């Protein structure tokens, strides 16, 4: 009701300017990177600057996780998701993909504070 942004989510490899703006406007910012080497290079390039942002969490979906998710892609998908103890299972009723996100940076300001 106040127009405040509780959580801002970016997927991929956003520009540093976009991330800083998001961290200034939202209580919590989460970035989910993917793509193997490209994501690693993006993180290496931005690590020093992003480490200073207290309300930022950065997680990486490893390349094998991306490939596992790709096996579930089909027209009119209906997926079930289970998240438990930092691990994710996505299933389409027949196949299941197990994904473990790598946490690159945790927000020093917990969500909700």
Quote the DSSP letter at residue 104. Answer: E
Query: Which segments in the chain show pLDDT lower than 50?
Result: 113
Contact status, residue 104 vs residue 58, Cβ threshold 8 Å: yes
Question: What is the structure's pLDDT at 35?
Answer: 83
In the CATH scheme, what is the code of domain 5-105? 3.10.640.10
Model confidence over 68-87: pLDDT tens digits? Answer: 989 899 898 899 999 888 78
Helix axis angle for 37-50 and 16-25, nearest 10°, is 50
pTM: 0.83
């Amino acid at each position: 009701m106040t127009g405040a942004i509780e959580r801002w989510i970016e997927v991929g490899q956003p520009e540093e300017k976009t991330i800083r703006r998001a961290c200034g406007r939202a209580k919590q910012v989460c970035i989910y990177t993917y793509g193997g080497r490209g994501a690693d290079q993006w993180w290496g390039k931005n690590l020093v600057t992003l480490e200073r942002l207290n309300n930022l969490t950065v997680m990486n979906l490893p390349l094998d996780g991306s490939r596992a998710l790709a096996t579930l892609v089909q027209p009119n998908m209906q997926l079930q998701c289970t998240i438990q103890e930092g691990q994710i299972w996505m299933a389409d009723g027949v196949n299941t993909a197990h994904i473990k996100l790598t946490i690159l940076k945790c927000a020093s300001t917990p969500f909700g504070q």
